[in-house]
Chains A and B, each alone.
Chain A
Amino acid sequence: MSSPTYLEMNNIDQMFGSYQALNNVSLNITEGEFVCFLGPSGCGKTSLLRIIAGLDMPTSGSILQVGKDITYAPIKQRDFGIVFQSYALFPNLTVSDNIAYGLSAKHATERMTANDRRARVTELLVTVGLSGSEEKYPAQLSGGQQQRVALARALATSPGLLLLDEPLSALDARVRAHLRQEIKQLQEKLGVTTIMVTHDQEEALTMADKIVVMNQGVIEQIGSPQEVYTKPNTPFVADFVGEMNFLSAKVSGAGEMASGGLTLNYSQASDLVIGDSAQLAIRPEDVRFHTENTQDNILNATVLHLEFLGSRMRSLLQLENHERPILADISMNEMSRLNFTQGQKITCQLPADRLHVFGGSV
């Protein structure tokens, strides 16, 4: 990656009394990137966003925006637009006045004329797909429309950085999925560096160029959506992004682990030595039922429970010689062939190349 670093955060700590909200967080964001801070509530993602915006101050560490130290700069001297979870639209101003709010006062030297402002508002409304709503008040708009107005207002002054604080969480599922795409497309079109805070892994996976998974004030992993999903660094990431079965195990040989009464092969490289305890993990959709032509990790199991999820069937399998049942997802196409029933004895495979290995036991 050759693009220059746009935002640089170095060793950020934030303490509230004795509570550490952020612990030594360092992160670089490239210009034009769409970055998602992902994590459960209280993980520090919003704290980090507020520090970037200047709404809160870090206890120590520094932030550089295009090489300029902005760690303690007042909000006004920073270059960003922000959309809050509540949208914070001014209820007594029309859509067009809301969007033009920052245009009239930007800098005394480059004050825009009323005509320029009107043109800019019209342009922005076209961009967010709300043409013709200039004279409406926020209360007359739907949640999704309010969201777009908030976005247009944040983009009006053409900031170098766009901050989105859980922008979609107040919307219902259908609108959310639609806006997800739109925001992403808009961001790509404008090329504005964007940071979005979310607790919704699906949102992060579909929108982000880069996901920053956070937990308890610490960055657990930084990576592309594919990387975070397929190669989770830590059990937390594995568990938080997507679903994962965990089996505690002990290294029993080269590329071989004992878990319960089972011996499983794995192909992931690790620096564990024989006798080390570890965790093996596999995603439900990675469990296979075609056991012909393969030998690795073939296990007998009993179907404990089946749950219909629409596009797929979720099964709970009791592995033979193992006390811990695992979840396995079967596509409906496959299901029509396999035709499992509750209580049935079956064979399944935990493919060695799909097994994740995490050192130590949790």
Chain B
Amino acid sequence: MSDSSLTPAVSIGSKKASKNPWYGRRSADEWSLGGILIIGVLGLLICVVMPIYTLLSKSVEDKDGHFIGLANFAKFIETPSLFSSISNSLFIALVSTLIVTSLSFLTAYAICRTRIPLKGLFRMVLVLPILAPSLLPAISLVYLFGNQGILKEVLMGESIYGPIGIIIGSCFWTFPHALMIMLTALANTDARLYESTEVLGASPMRTFFTVTLPAAKYGIISVAFVIFTLVITDFGVPKVIGGQFNVLATDIYKQVIGQQNFEMGATVSVILLLPAILTFITDRWLQRRQSALLTSKAVPWVAPIRKRIDSAFFVLLLLVSGVILGVIAMAVYASLVTFWPYNLSLSLKNYNFDLMDGGGWDSYFNSIELALYTAAIGTGFIFFQSYLVAKLAGFKLLKWFFHLFAILPLAVPGLVLGLAYIFFFNAPNNPLNGIYGTMIILVVCTISHFYTVCHLTATTALKQIDSEFESVSASLKVPQIVTFWRVSLPVCMPAVLDIASYLFVNAMTTVSAVVFLYSYNTSLASVAVLNMDDAGDIAPAAAMAVMIMLTCMVARLVHWILGNVVLKYTQDWRQR
């Protein structure tokens, strides 16, 4: 080892102290992308964090803006009509949660773990309610079981206006959300576990309770919390069919729209935030626990033929699908009947929205406009920001804040967000108050409302891409934005389409946040359903709800065509 070049080059000369320059090791390229990330963080700060902060502070202020501590909450509790809403809301939410959770588990089991035929068709039918506003089942129930309903006798004298109606309606529109989570929870199986139990001589029952159920445990808990929150924060169904039965969500609406009592609205909103936050925390916790359940070595389980079990589940799916189709069909039929129940001849009279209150056809086209803007701008913004968070080097603190802000909307019910927007953007000293009453605020609010799911979808898709792409392109002197455009975006195209379609459908159907924010010129279809129903024009309300549903179906069809036809042709690299 005498050759000098082979010995470790220990301290040649002095320690060359190379100073880290102030701009770090980032290129101009990375700084400009970092700038966009900063804009994203500020955007979320303005559109999510600050409105909610304003709402929280309003709940501890009086009409003149003085701090009064928890006086509003005390008043809420002392007012019997308001306070009873809490127990009403809890009752409705708990019963609905119980029904939806068990029903969605059984149907998901039928789809994932049995040999019944027509699974694809069932699956399509079972998620249909997601394409309709939550008002549609409520209206349909009025026609089925209302005072002039065709099945009124089934209720044996009980009124559909009240808890029964709210529960049925809530179950209807929340069911697809539960089903999708359950399907994911039950989709992955490990045949080796089932083989083990069989070899060990366990009965099918024991296998179910020791293998199947524990594996789906987190899914079930997650469904329960999600449904509970959806039901307790929804106000469409109780508004239409609740009658005199007050719940928290309708209280906010009444306090704000009816009595202009914004402080009390804020107070109820804060109370409504609690279950949502609880769900949010539970969900985060579950996400962390769930991951390691299945190893990559798992062998998918194929259900054996079990004649009796299969036919029982087949009947169940027929029943559930029948109810869903029946409720939808009733709404469609009701919208086509000329004058219920006296003139049952079919006509399009109820679709002549321009003759009714609620904004007419303009509101429908406003909704389309809102949905298109939301899908286009929202998808672009959300995906690009998620890309920066996932793939830009450095900026750790900024990314941490971004992620926090992006997750936050999940914990905020739409009604609460809408009210928060009034407080924040309608304040005279807010330089942005010019957007109040315009289409812009509706788009901003809708994107913010549905931000989290889109952000998580994008992040999941981006995480599946090789993390070295950016390093490789940097070593090849290619700007990162070029790699985003040429590689990351095309590879994530299916996720991008999912996000766009999700935003479009939700923008079409949502009522809760936008009901506080629309103006005379920006009335929306979903709000028109509410207002027409309020004015007693139930058939036109049903007609508008049907229009919304049809539009969402078209959107889903376009999504399907883009995903399955266009992508197949342009993305042949996906095939091996």
Whether the Cβ atoms of B27 and A74 lie closer than 8 Å is yes
Task: Assess whether A140 is interfacial by the CB under 8 Å rule.
Answer: yes
For the complex, give the distance between the alpha carbons of A57 and B25 in Å. 8
For the complex, give the distance between the alpha carbons of A221 and B575 in Å. 47
Whether the Cβ atoms of B27 and A90 lie closer than 8 Å is no
Residue of A53, A55, A74, A105 near B26 (CB, 8 A) is: A74
Whether the Cβ atoms of A102 and B477 lie closer than 8 Å is yes
Whether the Cβ atoms of A105 and B477 lie closer than 8 Å is yes
Whether the Cβ atoms of B21 and A72 lie closer than 8 Å is yes
Whether the Cβ atoms of A88 and B472 lie closer than 8 Å is yes
> Counting chain A CB atoms within 10 Å of each CB, which of B30, B472, B576 scores highest?
B472
Known interface pairs A90-B486, A91-B491, A101-B476; A72-B11 also in contact (CB < 8 Å)? no
Task: Assess whether A30 is interfacial by the CB under 8 Å rule.
Answer: yes
**0 or 1 for each of B1-28: is its CB under 8 Å from A? (1 = yes):** 1010111111111011110110011110
For the complex, give the distance between the alpha carbons of A166 and B402 in Å. 34
For the complex, give the distance between the alpha carbons of A86 and B464 in Å. 13
Closest 8 CB pairs of A and B: A102-B476, A88-B468, A74-B27, A75-B474, A137-B573, A62-B18, A62-B16, A71-B18
Task: Assess whether B574 is interfacial by the CB under 8 Å rule.
Answer: yes
Number of interface residues of B (CB under 8 A): 47
Instruction: Mark A residues whose CB is within 8 Å of B.
Output: 1, 8-11, 26-28, 30, 53-55, 57, 60-62, 69, 71-78, 80-82, 84, 86, 88, 90-94, 101-102, 104-107, 137-140, 153-154, 156-157, 159, 210, 219, 221-224, 227, 231, 233
> B interface, by DSSP: helix, strand, loop or mixed?
loop
Whether the Cβ atoms of B11 and A139 lie closer than 8 Å is no
For the complex, give the distance between the alpha carbons of A8 and B16 in Å. 11
For the complex, give the distance between the alpha carbons of A54 and B24 in Å. 11
Residue of B25, B466, B475, B575 near A72 (CB, 8 A) is: B25
Question: For A1, what are the chain B residues with a Cβ–Cβ distance below 8 Å?
Answer: 3, 5
Question: Count of A-B contacts with CB under 8 A?
Answer: 143
Task: Assess whether B572 is interfacial by the CB under 8 Å rule.
Answer: yes
Whether the Cβ atoms of A222 and B7 lie closer than 8 Å is yes
Whether the Cβ atoms of A26 and B11 lie closer than 8 Å is yes
For the complex, give the distance between the alpha carbons of A62 and B487 in Å. 34
For the complex, give the distance between the alpha carbons of A76 and B10 in Å. 29
Whether the Cβ atoms of A28 and B29 lie closer than 8 Å is no
Task: Assess whether B473 is interfacial by the CB under 8 Å rule.
Answer: yes
> Counting chain B CB atoms within 10 Å of each CB, which of A75, A86, A140 scores highest?
A75
Residue of B11, B475, B575 near A11 (CB, 8 A) is: B11
Whether the Cβ atoms of B11 and A10 lie closer than 8 Å is yes
- Please give the distance in Å from A4's CB to the nearest CB on chain B: 11
Task: Assess whether B482 is interfacial by the CB under 8 Å rule.
Answer: yes
- Please give the distance in Å from B490's CB to the nearest CB on chain A: 5
Residue pairs across A and B with Cβ atoms less than 8 A apart, 11 shown, are A11-B16, A53-B475, A72-B24, A73-B25, A76-B474, A81-B475, A84-B472, A92-B573, A93-B487, A102-B477, A154-B475
Whether the Cβ atoms of A26 and B477 lie closer than 8 Å is no
Known interface pairs A93-B487, A139-B573; A72-B6 also in contact (CB < 8 Å)? no
Known interface pairs A76-B27, A137-B572; A102-B10 also in contact (CB < 8 Å)? no
Task: Assess whether B471 is interfacial by the CB under 8 Å rule.
Answer: yes
For the complex, give the distance between the alpha carbons of A137 and B136 in Å. 48
Whether the Cβ atoms of B5 and A90 lie closer than 8 Å is no
Whether the Cβ atoms of B1 and A227 lie closer than 8 Å is yes
Whether the Cβ atoms of A88 and B9 lie closer than 8 Å is no
For the complex, give the distance between the alpha carbons of A26 and B7 in Å. 10
Whether the Cβ atoms of A139 and B16 lie closer than 8 Å is no
Residue of A nearest to B487 (CB): A90
Task: Assess whether B81 is interfacial by the CB under 8 Å rule.
Answer: no
For the complex, give the distance between the alpha carbons of A27 and B10 in Å. 8
Residue of B nearest to A50 (CB): B471
Residue of A91, A159, A233 near B573 (CB, 8 A) is: A91
Whether the Cβ atoms of A157 and B11 lie closer than 8 Å is no
Residue of B5, B477, B571 near A106 (CB, 8 A) is: B477
Whether the Cβ atoms of B12 and A75 lie closer than 8 Å is no
Question: For A93, what are the chain B residues with a Cβ–Cβ distance below 8 Å?
Answer: 486-487, 573
- Please give the distance in Å from B539's CB to the nearest CB on chain A: 51
Whether the Cβ atoms of A10 and B15 lie closer than 8 Å is yes
> Counting chain B CB atoms within 10 Å of each CB, which of A9, A91, A156, A157 scores highest?
A91
For the complex, give the distance between the alpha carbons of A233 and B9 in Å. 15
Task: Assess whether B479 is interfacial by the CB under 8 Å rule.
Answer: yes
Whether the Cβ atoms of B20 and A53 lie closer than 8 Å is no
Whether the Cβ atoms of A69 and B471 lie closer than 8 Å is no
Task: Assess whether B313 is interfacial by the CB under 8 Å rule.
Answer: no
Whether the Cβ atoms of A27 and B5 lie closer than 8 Å is no
> Counting chain B CB atoms within 10 Å of each CB, which of A72, A74, A153 scores highest?
A74
For the complex, give the distance between the alpha carbons of A213 and B447 in Å. 54
For the complex, give the distance between the alpha carbons of A221 and B8 in Å. 7
For the complex, give the distance between the alpha carbons of A54 and B30 in Å. 14
For the complex, give the distance between the alpha carbons of A69 and B469 in Å. 26
Known interface pairs A57-B20, A102-B477, A105-B478; A26-B572 also in contact (CB < 8 Å)? no
For the complex, give the distance between the alpha carbons of A60 and B14 in Å. 13
Question: For B1, what are the chain A residues with a Cβ–Cβ distance below 8 Å?
Answer: 223, 227, 231, 233
Question: For A9, what are the chain B residues with a Cβ–Cβ distance below 8 Å?
Answer: 9
Question: For A80, what are the chain B residues with a Cβ–Cβ distance below 8 Å?
Answer: 475
Whether the Cβ atoms of A139 and B471 lie closer than 8 Å is no
- Please give the distance in Å from B489's CB to the nearest CB on chain A: 9
> Counting chain A CB atoms within 10 Å of each CB, which of B10, B18, B24, B473 scores highest?
B18
Known interface pairs A84-B471, A84-B472, A137-B573; A92-B487 also in contact (CB < 8 Å)? yes
For the complex, give the distance between the alpha carbons of A137 and B491 in Å. 13
> Counting chain A CB atoms within 10 Å of each CB, which of B12, B475, B477, B573 scores highest?
B475
For the complex, give the distance between the alpha carbons of A55 and B30 in Å. 13
Whether the Cβ atoms of B9 and A28 lie closer than 8 Å is yes
Residue of A nearest to B6 (CB): A223
Residue of A nearest to B572 (CB): A137
For the complex, give the distance between the alpha carbons of A159 and B477 in Å. 11
Residue of B nearest to A228 (CB): B6
Residue of A nearest to B16 (CB): A62
Residue of A nearest to B490 (CB): A92
For the complex, give the distance between the alpha carbons of A20 and B402 in Å. 30
Whether the Cβ atoms of A10 and B12 lie closer than 8 Å is yes
For the complex, give the distance between the alpha carbons of A257 and B10 in Å. 32
Residue of B nearest to A83 (CB): B472
